[in-house]
Amino acid sequence: MNNHMMAAVLYGKEHLHVEPVAVPTIDSGDILVRVKVALTCGTDVKVFRRGYHARMIVPPAVFGHELAGDVVAVSEGVANFSIGQRVVASNSAPCDACFFCRRGLQNLCEDLLFNNGAYAEYIRIPARIVQKNTYLIPSHVGYYDAALVEPLACVVRGFEETAPRPGDTIAIIGLGSIGLMFVKLAKLYGCRVIAVGRRKTQLERAAVLGADDLIVAAESDPVKTIRSLTHGRGADVAIEAVGKPQTWEWAANMVRRGGTVNFFGGCPNDSKVNLDTALLHYSEITCKASFHHTPAYIRKALDLVCAGHITASFFVNREEPLANLLEVMRHLMSHNGHLKTAIVP
């Protein structure tokens, strides 16, 4: 193997280059993966726009975190993987020893190890992720499908934490790939889905996944519309998958008495929201937020992908070579309402 490869290096705010860098070396317990596909993600676009992410990445650094590929090197100490296997590796792994991990909150681990560098020909998967969060891809599952496991794990966890019941009415605000994954899960679970989005194309996609009612956010007051669709009561559950204070407020205002809200979308730092305390209290609204995933949910997400419930044919609608990543990021930044792009290094 040549010891150089092409990789995207993030230097700062809207500043990245696809350039030759050294192929990563691997230490004990690590594996090296030839990336077959890396998917773009809303978080990457956010990091590109801001130039940093407090926990995930400190530039200059290789970039990208949703990937699937082939094992091309294993270090000593790796027993469960061998060269030539097709694998999907998560972007993080918890320590399983800290206060939070011991309470089953591995997503909040004090020492969560993040891995970036999927927009590259090769990526090193560190030992801890090899042990806890890397899986073989069954032969009937494609690389593109497998690469959906990481974002899907966040969604499956958020869905279960919100604990809807079959038959419940779920309002889902925001119909990017995350919101649409929620639509799909809610339909699989037997819920009625009211999808709230800004664009007609997004609502059409939600309808394809089975959404029962569609609300164009700009055309009406979504809170009033949801109440009129639910005998005045409000939705049983509302999931906010946008990450804006206004949509957080809508979500809290559109659930019924005793309902549950999940603030799934992270707002920009220092954002504040206005919540009606009387409403929260006298209507007994449960407010939740979900961040990231745990190894158990990576496995659940992989099972959903292997069963064919979530496929790249729906969630990935563009494919570009690695060399075009800068243009792809700019495009994703300037438009809303499109899905994932497959970057092929």
The binding site for Zn ion (CB under 5 A) comprises 41, 43, 66, 94-95, 98, 101, 109, 151
Nearer to Zn ion by Cβ, of 192 and 293: the residue is 293
Report in angstroms how near the CB of residue 166 gets to Zn ion at its nearest. Answer: 28
Report in angstroms how near the CB of residue 173 gets to Zn ion at its nearest. Answer: 19
Longest dimension (CA), the chain: 66
Pairwise CA distance, residues 187 & 51, whole Å:
37
CB 262 within 8 A of CB 237: yes
Listed in sequence order, the DSSP H helices in the chain are 42-50, 99-102, 127-133, 143-146, 149-162, 177-188, 200-208, 222-228, 245-253, 277-282, 295-306, 312-315, 325-334
Nearer to Zn ion by Cβ, of 114 and 189: the residue is 114
Nearer to Zn ion by Cβ, of 95 and 280: the residue is 95
CB 338 within 8 A of CB 39: no
Which phi and psi (to 5°) does residue 306 adopt?
-65, -30
Task: Using DSSP bridges, classify how beta strands 86-89 and 134-136 pair: parallel, antiparallel or unpaired.
Answer: antiparallel
Structure tokens at 205: 């996609």
Give Rg (Cα) of the chain: 20
Which one-letter amino acid corresponds to residue 48?
F
Which run of H or of E encompasses 317? strand 316-321
Report in angstroms how near the CB of residue 143 gets to Zn ion at its nearest. Answer: 16
Nearer to Zn ion by Cβ, of 41 and 329: the residue is 41
Structure tokens at 243: 């990450």
Nearer to Zn ion by Cβ, of 98 and 136: the residue is 98
Nearer to Zn ion by Cβ, of 74 and 112: the residue is 112
Report in angstroms how near the CB of residue 184 gets to Zn ion at its nearest. Answer: 17
CA 270 to chain centre: 22
Q: Report CA-CA distances (Å) from 285 to 78, 89, 176, 191, 262.
A: 48, 37, 26, 19, 11
Pairwise CA distance, residues 101 & 98, whole Å:
5
Report in angstroms how near the CB of residue 66 gets to Zn ion at its nearest. Answer: 5
Report in angstroms how near the CB of residue 152 gets to Zn ion at its nearest. Answer: 10
Pairwise CA distance, residues 314 & 177, whole Å:
9
Nearer to Zn ion by Cβ, of 194 and 239: the residue is 239
Report in angstroms how near the CB of residue 280 gets to Zn ion at its nearest. Answer: 31
Nearer to Zn ion by Cβ, of 73 and 147: the residue is 147
Report in angstroms how near the CB of residue 64 gets to Zn ion at its nearest. Answer: 9
Nearer to Zn ion by Cβ, of 169 and 177: the residue is 177
Report in angstroms how near the CB of residue 62 gets to Zn ion at its nearest. Answer: 15
Nearest 5°: the CA angle 56, 150, 109 is: 50
